[in-house]
Amino acid sequence: MKSGGSKLEQILEKGQFAVTAEIGPPKHADAEKVVHHAHILKDYVDATNITDCQTAVVRMSSIGTGVHVLGAGVEPIVQMTCRDRNRIAMQSDLLAAYSLGMRNVLCLSGDHQKFGNHPTAKNVYDVDSMQLIHLVRRMRDEKKFFCDEEIKGAEPRFFIGAVANPFADPFEWRVDRLEKKVAAGAEFIQTQCIYDMERFERFMEMVRERGLDKQVHILAGVTPLKSWKVAKYLQSNVSGMIVPDAIVERLKAAEDSKAEGVNICIEQIKYIKEKVPGVHGVHIMAIAWEEVVPDIVQRCGLYPRPQL
Amino acid sequence: MIVAEQKPLAEIADMIKDCRKVLFAGCGGCVTVCLSGGEKETEVMATALRMKRQLEGNPLETVTYTATRQCDPEYIDAMADAVRGVDAVVSLACGVGPQYIAARYPDLWVIPAQNTTFAGGSKEHGVWEEFCGLCGQCVLHLTGGICPIIRCSKSILNGPCGGSQYGKCEISKDVDCAWHLIYERLKRLDRLDLIRAYQEPKDWSKARDGGPRKVTREDVMIG
Amino acid sequence: MEFEPKIVAFCCHFCAYSAADLAGSMRLQYAPNIRIIEMPCSGTIDHRVLLKALEDGADGVFVAGCMEGDCHFLKGNYRAKRRVNHVKKLLEEIGLESGRLEMYNLSAAMGPRFAEIANEMTAKIKELGPSPFRKHTGGDVG
């Protein structure tokens, strides 16, 4: 095992189908709800992402929230974007995160601050996500800071994750980029949430052609939709997301759209598990609907989670 | 060229409200080319403010002068006659001009008439876009001639990010994704190897992050 | 004494000026308040000229060019339209009514239309009143 004890890494390396979920930190200084969500997810996931000021909206930090989640008995995956921190702050945060017990880090570019509640902020983007992956790996495998200086003492040993978006363009380049991330040091990948299954399958075909499924653990991202309005919003307003009209229509026609949204999600997970080779797990992003995750995990036959 | 956009007239009027005689100094450089601060624009601004002040019952005397440019000391020296007796100078040059004037005539009140925005070029007559990130270490040879520092909203060097869709940047449908353009260009040139290769983090100390910069050419110095 | 506006009309040679000429030949009666200035094309109008006319005391100004799509120089009248609109906005920022400046389009054959425009503009300016920049007193239209 490369990391300093990541449960997620162990499960994936054992060849088991992993389940991760997501917790969105609060827009205030009280972690009570986070702990509550962690308790809900505890027995149903192997680890949970903690978003990092998602959509550039100020929230409790990913690492800080991670401490609360860890305390509740759930393994956190710290998300770190490139938008708000320069390389000095990044490394500083990584050292602290590791010392506080975090073992997984997900490196991503981060939504532009234009989308958030502080659009007038200066954007940092000192390093990009590719560089962050590479440099986090170097901290672990070569005991080096980004500046080449040796880390004298405990080096942070993270299990390193990145994201892939088969629904962004240019499509044919997305697998090249994934390959580049793997070469840079990515060990697990979470994809943007899947609604266009056909496109995801084509993506995975290209992934398998290059043998990337043997080099990195890909977790398919899914999100249960509450209503056709949410589906429509994602379709029109979120860059890099594709939602087929068929799904919008199905939700519109349903009597209980929430139940239908969960049904669709379960169908997707089952399909991916059985029919799409090369996928090593599922990443369930049910932000503000964490309560629905246990039900989904159970009905997909993924409960109980493997104990280590 | 450096592209600048005039501040609203009301804002400039407010800045000179207590002045009785004002010099409007245009610039024959970049701002002439981007049609915001040249001779014509300077005359129009002076006239508009004169008329506005007359209607307010607080007449303004205006003088206009268009310097060859406002970023060489010799051309600022040449303004000596024009600045005599004025209460303020409104400079229509880019941000460099007002600074040069203020330094050369320290007892003068200098006002910037423009919001200097970017280094760019014209796309069609009347439309200018940002092209150069002024980063101090050009990488255009690695990206097929498209600047990733400034044309990518996140200054990514190993792009594109996951927000690139239909060739557009996530921040707006009107903004092309620079990395999409880079990909298309390098594909055409059969040089995708350039973006398969990992790019190290940028040395931002060569950009504004390292502090105010200076360029010297010893071989042309006179003193 | 009733206020008689002084209106400056920048007319393009190929259409508006010819129309004005035709109105004359047709012996059409129209408001005598118009002072015509001939230009090769309405597209040669400059922001500074429009502002100068108003600052020097004209109560109203209009630019008259060929019908859209029929400009003798192809796009001159489109350029004129954009410039006139820009100066109209500027007038609002200056504190002067933007209605004192207008753009009209007509063809060389439209003598009666020229008379109509002259009357229309004069009536409009009469309603707006004398320009605050007016230098002379009295209602002499000469």
Task: Determine, yes or no, domain membership for C95.
Answer: yes
Say if residue C114's pLDDT is above 50.
yes
CB < 8 Å to B12, chain C: none
Please report which confidence band the pLDDT of residue C142 belongs to, taking 50, 70 and 90 as the band edges.
very low
**Total structural domains in chain C?**
1
Q: Which residues of A160-178 are buried (b: 16+ CB within 10 A; e: fewer)?
A: bbbbbbbbbbbeebbbbbb
Q: Which of B43, B47, B127 to mutate to test the interface with C (most CBs of C within 10 A)?
A: B47
Each residue's pLDDT tens digit, B148-161: 999 999 999 998 99
Q: What mean pLDDT comes out for the span A103-111?
A: 96
| Tens digit of each residue's pLDDT (9 = 90 or more) over A261-286 | 999 999 999 999 999 999 999 999 99
Q: Nearest to residue B180, comparing CAs of B154, B150, B148?
A: B148
- By residue range, what is the domain housing residue C78? 7-125
Q: By three-state DSSP, how is residue A273 classified?
A: helix
With contacts defined as CB-CB under 8 Å, which chain B residues touch A169? Answer: 160, 164-167, 177, 180
List CB contacts (< 8 A) between B10 and chain C. Answer: 93
Chain-chain contact of B47 with C55 (C-beta, under 8 angstroms): yes
* DSSP reduced 3-state for B185: helix
Shortest distance, CA B107 to any CA of chain C (angstroms) = 30
| Chain C residues with a Cβ under 8 Å from any Cβ in chain B | 46-48, 51-52, 54-55, 90, 93-96, 132-133
Q: Judge contact between C61 and C88, C-beta under 8 A.
A: no
- Identify whether C56 is part of a domain: yes
Alpha carbon distance A112, C29 (integer Å): 66
CA distance B69 to chain C (A): 22
* C25 in a structural domain: yes
Give Cβ neighbours of residue C71 (< 8 Å, ≥ 6 apart): C41, C42, C43, C65, C77, C78
pLDDT score, position C136: 61
Coil, helix or strand at residue C42:
helix
Q: What is the average per-residue pLDDT within C4-12?
A: 97
pLDDT in tens, C53-90: 999 999 999 999 999 999 999 999 999 999 999 999 99
Render pLDDT for B33-57 as a digit per residue (tens, 0 to 9).
999 999 999 999 999 999 999 999 9
pLDDT of residue B217: 96
How far is Cα B170 from Cα A112, in angstroms, rounded to an integer? 8
Q: What is the CA radius of gyration of chain B?
A: 22
> DSSP assignment, residue A237?
H
Per-residue pLDDT, C135: 81
Which domains does chain A carry? 7-226+277-299 (3.20.20.220)
Which tokens sit at A206?
Answer: 């290209």
**Cβ contact, residue pair A112, B154, below 8 Å:** yes
pLDDT recorded at residue C141:
47
DSSP C52: H
**Residue C119 burial (10 A CB sphere; 0-12, 13-18, 19+):** middle
Residue found under tokens 């249960």: A224
Q: What is the DSSP letter of A144?
A: B
**pLDDT tens-place string over residues A156-192:** 999 999 999 999 988 989 999 999 999 999 999 999 9
Q: Which residues contact B214 (CB under 8 A, 6 or more apart)?
A: none
How confident is the model at residue A287, as a pLDDT?
78
How far apart are the C-alpha atoms of C105 and C114, rounded to whole Å? 9
Amino acid identity of A142?
E
**A128 → closest Cβ in B156, B183, B196:** B156
User: Residue B45: its chain C contacts at CB < 8 A?
Assistant: none
Q: Which amino acid is at A141?
A: D
pLDDT at position C137: 54
In this prediction, residues B112-135 reach a mean pLDDT of 97
Three-state SS for A32-46 is HHHHHHHHHHCCCCC
Phi, psi of A105 (to 5 degrees): -130, 135
Per the domain annotation, does C134 fall within a domain?
no
Tokens linked to A220? 């398919």
C142 part of a folded domain: no
What CATH number was assigned to the domain covering residues B2-118?
Answer: 3.40.50.2300
Domain ranges of chain B: 2-118, 133-210
Chains contacting C with at least 3 CB pairs below 8 Å?
A: B
A112 contacts in chain B (CB < 8 Å)? 153-154, 163, 170-171
Minimal C-alpha gap between C137 and chain B (Å): 18
CATH code, C33: 3.40.50.960
Q: Do B44 and C90 touch (CB under 8 A)?
A: yes
pTM: 0.91
